[in-house]
Chains A and B, each alone.
Chain A
């Protein structure tokens, strides 16, 4: 047991019998010797109940029990050895075969079981050893004050003063200031280099406001990129759409994250079209951004009887009949609609880009 140098009498051991009075350690606890620190001492505080009487363990009283405990502990350690060997054997006996996913499962299960047995054997054995067989003494360490002695504090101030005088850093201001300047300038290259890793000359608000869609761009199937004829979209259909040429774009995933569209066809008489959007749909075929206006999950759970679109992340629900107005959930804005029409060959094309930024809000969104 480590004794503390500053407070001298802060350690006492309680290893007595049923009488509860410390006698083997020779010294009683002297709480007054330790500083109370910032603790508030109330006048009507309850008396310290002290330490409960020491109770001997069965392994202290009965040598037979002690032998049993000893046997348990070394059995656990032997089990740990067996577990380690089993893990090595399992690794060889159940190799991972690239063509068989089941082999990965067998490999990890048996390897894991072996390693678990190895570690748990050591851990449980060690704890059981400590609890049942190791010396059963309860000790108390009293907390000592954190403040250094006055001598130490005075010496510390003196060291700083000596350093100042000997180096002359307070006196030679030109050296001091140029050193501070050099230290400030030193991290600058790192800042510039790291900034160079990020996007250059791009305005994030501008990037978020536009997608790959442009006038005349064909609506194509995700993932094949094949164009779609209006006649192929039957009522009740849901097509997952990417813009023409997306698969060839160098930043395919960034573009897809903004330009993904869900194309649906409903009975034209079911649609309530607002003024200015009359020609945005084509005979009941409507195209809406798939990016939720809440936090940007893909909204694609189309219920073809109710014409509701559900976002799986936070259950925002949009009504396709009413231009994807929010009817439930945390989203605040309707899904942006992509104006579509058909070209001369009957393929569906976009009339323009989305007329508002797609996806969740951002600071610069007007």
Chain B
């Protein structure tokens, strides 16, 4: 009796996992179907209404710095040719609209809904051509993580840290950490070079290579470090501080205990 109940217990978690997987597959599949049909519907009807909407939003929220016709002012750069991808990145991650002038635009709570962001992107893209928002097929995370890792170390790691933990630049600027960033925004950042990040166009890092880099980033994000605690992946500073405080602290405490007379 006890054996059977034990067996039943053992099966339970597996059954739950299978059930969850089936449920996820259904809802995910359903959502994918729904969203693809939805975009198919809107893309045909999109254009004019969305661009109109984007134009109004732009005039109300962006034109003060970027000019009524995207020509730029002393307070902000021209947006001619930046493309939908750039707008989607800057607005979608909450960097724009800017709260204040500073060394670099900080990430803030996102100010616009997805529809508004899409409208703004469509409006800016309608005035001058530029990189477009990557499609879902470009963002699959099933690329070659080994190749992505090599490309990441050559092109990205010097600023963003080899584990994507971010790092300091000059005069208060910094390269942000890449863990937890949506694949779409990583792709758009490479494509458009936001702020002080250089541009990595499709001739430099091909769309397949970009997919591999995203795969690598997601791989190191989803797999625990074999070495144990990462301590923020910041390298010798964090690790040195840890050893100084806890390692040497333990040695001092043990030494005090060793030499103290027993009461």
Contacts and interface: CB of A to CB of B under 8 A. Distances in A.
Interface stretch (B7-15, B41-49, B190-198): B190-198
A305 B201 contact: no
A312 B167 contact: yes
A351 to B, nearest CB: 22
B199 A234 contact: yes
A342 B257 CA distance: 73
B154 A222 contact: yes
A53 to B, nearest CB: 13
Interface in B139-186: 150-151, 154-155, 158-159, 167, 169-170, 173
Nearest to A306: B196
Judged by DSSP, the binding face of A is: mixed
A240 B159 CA distance: 14
Contact of A237 (B150, B196, B199, B227): B199
Interface stretch (B57-65, B66-74, B87-95, B218-226): B218-226
A132 B261 CA distance: 9
Nearest to B258: A127
Contacts of A264: 198
B263 A105 contact: no
A344 B203 CA distance: 19
Contact of A234 (B201, B228, B258): B201
B204 interface: yes
Judged by DSSP, the binding face of B is: loop
Contacts of A109: 228
A300 B175 CA distance: 13
**Band of interface residues on A:** 35 or more
Contacts of A237: 193, 198-201, 204
A301 B159 contact: yes
A234 B262 CA distance: 74
B170 A328 contact: yes
Contacts of A240: 154-155
A238 to B, nearest CB: 4
Nearest to A106: B224
A98 B19 CA distance: 29
A235 B199 CA distance: 8
Nearest to B224: A102
Contact of A308 (B170, B225, B226, B262): B170
A156 B224 CA distance: 68
Nearest to A297: B158
B203 A232 contact: yes
B198 A302 contact: yes
A221 B198 contact: no
B140 to A, nearest CB: 21
B169 A303 contact: yes
A227 to B, nearest CB: 11
A228 B170 contact: no
Nearest to A136: B262
A57 B262 contact: yes
A304 B202 CA distance: 18
Contact of A305 (B195, B223, B228, B263): B195
Contacts of A300: 158
Given A102-B224, A237-B200, A303 B193 contact: no
Contacts of B261: 55, 57, 131
Contacts of B203: 228-229, 232-233
Interface string A210-244: 00000000000111000011001111111110000
A88 interface: no
Interface string A85-118: 0000000000000000110110011000000000
Contacts of A102: 223-224, 226
A310 interface: yes
Given A57-B262, A102-B223, A312 B158 contact: yes
B154 A57 contact: no
B196 A232 contact: no
A180 to B, nearest CB: 51
A58 B263 contact: yes
B263 A238 contact: no
Contacts of B228: 105, 108-109
A304 B225 contact: no
B57 to A, nearest CB: 25
Contacts of B227: 105
A306 B223 contact: no
A298 interface: yes
Given A101-B224, A101-B226, A127-B258, A304 B197 contact: yes
A201 B167 CA distance: 44
B193 A304 contact: yes
Given A101-B224, A306-B170, A132 B200 contact: no
Given A240-B155, A312-B167, 20 more contacts: A55-B261, A57-B261, A102-B224, A105-B224, A108-B226, A229-B203, A232-B203, A235-B199, A236-B198, A237-B200, A238-B155, A238-B199, A240-B154, A298-B158, A301-B169, A303-B169, A305-B195, A305-B196, A315-B170, A317-B170
21 contacts: A57-B262, A102-B224, A104-B226, A105-B224, A108-B226, A108-B228, A109-B228, A132-B262, A221-B204, A223-B151, A232-B203, A234-B201, A236-B193, A236-B198, A264-B198, A301-B158, A301-B159, A303-B196, A304-B193, A312-B158, A317-B170
